[in-house]
Amino acid sequence: MGVISSLKGLFYPPKCVICGNILPFDTKTSFCPDCAAELSKAIGRKCPDCGLYSNACKCVLPVLRAEGFLFHVKLFGYNANHRSSPANRLVYRMKSSQKSALYSSLADMLAPSLSAEIAAQCAALSLAPLITFVPRSRDSVSKYGFDQAELLAKALAKKLSIPFAAAVKRKHLSDAQMKLLTASGRFSAGADAFEPIRGCGAGCGVVLIIVDDVLTSGASAYWTAKAASLLGVRHFAAVSVAQTY
Ligand SMILES: [Zn+2]
Ligand SMILES: [Zn+2]
């Protein structure tokens, strides 16, 4: 550790990105020991379909499988009712924090499984991976000033040295249209929400890896893929920090 970073550590000691407690001296992760232990318990949940721990499970929701999704890499199961669980606190933290330590820790945790899938599946199809994200609504971007899925997608792209591109954007909708869309809560409501970004580099030669913070019904990933398919993309993959159960 250099003199400057030692001094910086003295005046601004690194804090756990989940609970905010000061981290033990010279710690290598961004989580305190308590939060790290809680997180590994959350990861310890097994997928009912494949029987693997959630951070090893690659199962794809049937609705996404049918659309050309090859795999879905995730860290843990998420239950919105367990408010104080570490997984929920981490997901909530992502909405309000753009700390690079948070996103690079999450990228570290997702990277091994993701790079193994990319090596196997993209090579088998002779396609190149391209990382993108499910864009937030304009309201939530303007509220927090950043897009957490975009930050995670960029951290993963950097970690794995894979190209990143914004492939899809939210359509400009009138307030009335937007209200109808969000109030309906239907899976099909997303059909009018996204449009492709021409010239972004996504096309028939890529597997488009769609990053989101939480995957629930799969609707956002599905409609992001649908919009990207207008650019010629036929194969997709999903990455999320959590998946609801
Ligand atoms: Zn903590
Ligand atoms: Zn599974």
User: Tell me: the pLDDT tens digits for 52-85?
Assistant: 999 999 999 999 999 999 999 999 888 878 877 8
Domain membership flag for residue 1: no
CA of 24 to the centre of ligand 1 (A): 11
What does the pLDDT read at residue 181? 65
Bridge partners of residue 129, in order along the sequence = 207
CATH (domain of 230): 3.40.50
Cα(238) to centroid of ligand 2, in Å? Answer: 13
Kindly tell me the burial class for residue 139, based on how many C-beta atoms sit within 10 Å of its own C-beta (0-12, 13-18, 19 or more): exposed
**Range of the structural domain that residue 214 is part of:** 40-244
Ligand nearest to the CA of 33: 1
Q: Compute the distance from residue 53 Cα to the ligand 1 centre, in Å.
A: 22
Residue 24: nearest ligand to its CA? 1
**End-to-end Cα spacing for the chain:** 42
Q: Tell me which DSSP letter residue 218 carries.
A: S
DSSP notation for 30-68: SS-HHHHHHHHHHHTPBPTTT-SBTTT-----HHHHTTT
Question: In the predicted model, is pLDDT for residue 231 greater than 80?
Answer: yes
**Is 114 within 8 Å of 241 (Cβ atoms)?**
no
User: Does 2 fall in a domain?
Assistant: no
Domain count, the chain: 1
- Does some domain include residue 232? yes
**Cα-based distances in Å from 177 to 13, 192, 227:** 47, 9, 18
Decide if 114 is inside a domain. Answer: yes
CA 44 to ligand 2 centroid distance, Å = 13
Domain assignment present for 91: yes
Tens digit of each residue's pLDDT (9 = 90 or more) over 129-162: 999 999 988 777 878 889 999 999 999 999 999 9
pTM: 0.89
| 213 Cα–ligand 1 center, Å | 19
State the distance from the centre of ligand 2 to the C-alpha of 115, rounded, in angstroms. Answer: 17
E strand segments, 86-159: 128-133
Q: What pLDDT, on the 0 to 100 scale, is given for residue 132?
A: 98
- Confidence category of residue 182, pLDDT binned at 50, 70, 90: low
What pLDDT, in 10s, does the model give residues 3-59?
555 555 556 778 888 888 999 877 777 888 888 888 888 887 788 899 999 999 999
Q: Look at residue 142 and tell me if it is in a domain.
A: yes
